[in-house]
Structure 1
Amino acid sequence: MQIIIYQGNAAPPKAADITIVIDVIRAFTVAHYAFLQGVHCIFLADSIEQALQIKKENPDFLLAGEVDGLAIEGFDLDNSPSHIKQLNLTGKTLVQKTTNGVRAALNCLASKHVFVTGFSNAKQTAAFIREKMAAVNGKMIHIIASHPSGDDDLACAEYIKSMLEGSSNLISAQEVKERIKHSHVAEKFFDEENPVFLREDINNCLKEINTDFVMKMNTTSEIPKIERVNV
């Protein structure tokens, strides 16, 4: 298999057989926790206007997301995993709109298979692709570190790549955690004068959770959505 890491939320030059889109802080950590809290599926909106229109047509859906890290007026939920994990979301449908992770995933829909993850589900995602995807050795795999300059997503991308390759130089989970914690993306979460961003969010982004599912895009849906796929 050939594995290429791209950084940023733009579409790669060409489609891959398998694409893994990473947003550690915080979109796909939020998505992971939402599924743990019982969410049925998560639609991805490419604009605030589209998200609000989906909500208008489906009043029971919950809108979640951010612009520049901040909650969006008119949305039900923000982009905080700490807040999501406190909710009972059994059977609910979410609609996500975020700056990097959602945009990157929507830009990769030409790939045959698209997975999304944060660090919390990275190990399970890598294991699923290695063990369950037929003839993975012949595949072109793209790993998208969706933040254009964040070492948090890049560290997670390199971690997944090393696991897929079965490298003897496997990057340790602890090294990845340190890079996430000390990335410039995480800095504002440790600023006590900026209460909008919660330190606990970073703590949740740093936890590897042994779950029995991965998050895979359904690209044939009229509105692309993330679905839970049991391993």
Structure 2
Amino acid sequence: MHSRVVGIPDLDGTEPVAVVIDVMRAFTTAAWAFHRGADKIVLAADAGGALAIKEGNPGWLALKDGAPAGGFDLVNSPGLIQEADLTGRTVIQKTTAGTVGALAVVEARLALCASFVVAGATARVLADAGADPVTFVATGEDGRAAEDLACAEYLDRILAGEPRDPLPYLHRARTSPAADDLRRGRRRGAHPTDVDLCLEVDRFDFAMKVGLEEGMAVLRPLRTRPDAVSDRAR
């Protein structure tokens, strides 16, 4: 399999298969939202766009990163989302990097959003689709975020059929500047458990596929084969 890892600025919209990675925290939060019952997640480019979508769709919930803000119902924190009842709800998600990266590749033949919590399922979808080549998009820090690069390399090793002990990759993520910022309270709208929740490999047995629906970028869970799924996901 051929692959490359790029940042958002390097995308040109021609990638046939893309995996958009935001470990801390957009696509860990999204996975938890699905686990808590969300039906779909609509991705927004900015806060104004998110609120405009919400205004046109009563009952939808808006989520953003950073501190709580007027008009938004949820914040981009897996530690907080894991307590929410989202059964049957539609969530509108806007974040600084993750949703921006997903919107950049939404028209790809296959576009997935990923983090460590859905790594195994993401790799299975790619393998089942015979995806080659694959573009991994490390969204944080214009492609330099240590946790996103570690997750991309971990996925690449799985697809290559090589030994894939997750611990070295998790160590890189755990000691990243983003993890340090979260632990030290430098990011608003965070929960003390966020870092640990972002590092639970294969916590869930679904991947997350993004595509256009009625002109909106919509993220949905994509169930995969149950074999080799961590017991924690059951």
Could you state the TM-score of these two structures normalised by the residue count of structure 2? 0.88
Specify the alignment match of 2:45 in structure 1: 46
Task: Note the 1:15-94 alignment, pairs <5 A.
Answer: 15-66=14-65, 69-94=66-91
Gaps in structure 1 of 5+ consecutive residues: none
Change (3 A) 1:140 1:89: same
Structure 1 position 110, deviation (Å): 3.4
The one-letter code sitting in structure 2 at the alignment partner of 1:3 is S
Indicate the SS of the match to 1:73: coil
1:42 match: secondary structure: strand
1:116-195 matches, cutoff 5 A? 116-130=113-127, 132-133=128-129, 135-136=130-131, 139-147=132-140, 148=142, 149-167=144-162, 170-191=163-184
Comparing 175-184 with 95-104, which one deviates more in the overlay?
175-184
What is the CA–CA distance in structure 2 between the aligned matches of 1:113 and 1:224, rounded to whole Å?
13
Corresponding residue number in structure 2 for 1:226 = 219
Deviation of the 1:219 alpha carbon: 2.6
Give the TM-score taking structure 1 as reference length: 0.89
Q: CA deviation at 1:197?
A: 3.2
1:57 Cα deviation (Å)? 1.0
Counterpart CA distance in 1 for 2:23 and 2:187 is 20
1:124 Cα deviation (Å)? 1.5
Question: 1:11 Cα shift?
Answer: 5.0
Tell whether the 8 Å contact from 1:5 to 1:143 is kept in structure 2 after alignment.
yes
| Partner Cα distance (2:41, 2:13) in 1 | 26
The Cα RMSD (Å) is 1.9
Rounded to whole Å, the distance in 1 between the matches of 2:172 and 2:68 is 26
Deviates more, 1:221-230 or 1:84-93: 221-230
CA distance in 2, matches of 1:197, 1:3: 33
Determine whether 1:97 maps to 2:94: yes
Aligned mates of 1:110, 1:62 — CA distance in 2: 24
What stretches of structure 2 of length at least 5 have no aligned partner?
Answer: 225-234
Identity of aligned residues (%): 31
Q: Is the CA contact (8 Å cut-off) linking 1:71 and 1:79 kept in structure 2?
A: no
Which of 205, 210, 217 aligns to 2:198? It is 205
SS at match of 1:21: strand
Q: Contact 2:36–2:84 at 8 Å: present in 1 too? A: yes
| Change over 3 Å in CA distance of 1:210–1:79 after alignment to 2 | closer
Q: CA deviation at 1:21?
A: 0.4
Give the distance between the partners of 1:58 and 1:174, measured in 2 at CA: 43
Q: CA deviation at 1:58?
A: 1.1
Number of equivalences: 222
Given that 2:79 and 2:190 are in contact with CA atoms closer than 8 Å, whether structure 1 keeps it comes out as: no
Query: Partner letter of residue 88 of structure 1?
Result: D
C-alpha distance in structure 2 between counterparts of 1:171 and 1:214, whole Å = 19
Amino acid at match of 1:116: C
**SS of residue in 2 equivalent to 1:51:** helix
* Whole-angstrom CA distance in 1 between matches of 2:111 and 2:186: 38
**Which 10-residue stretch deviates more, 19-28 or 193-202?**
193-202
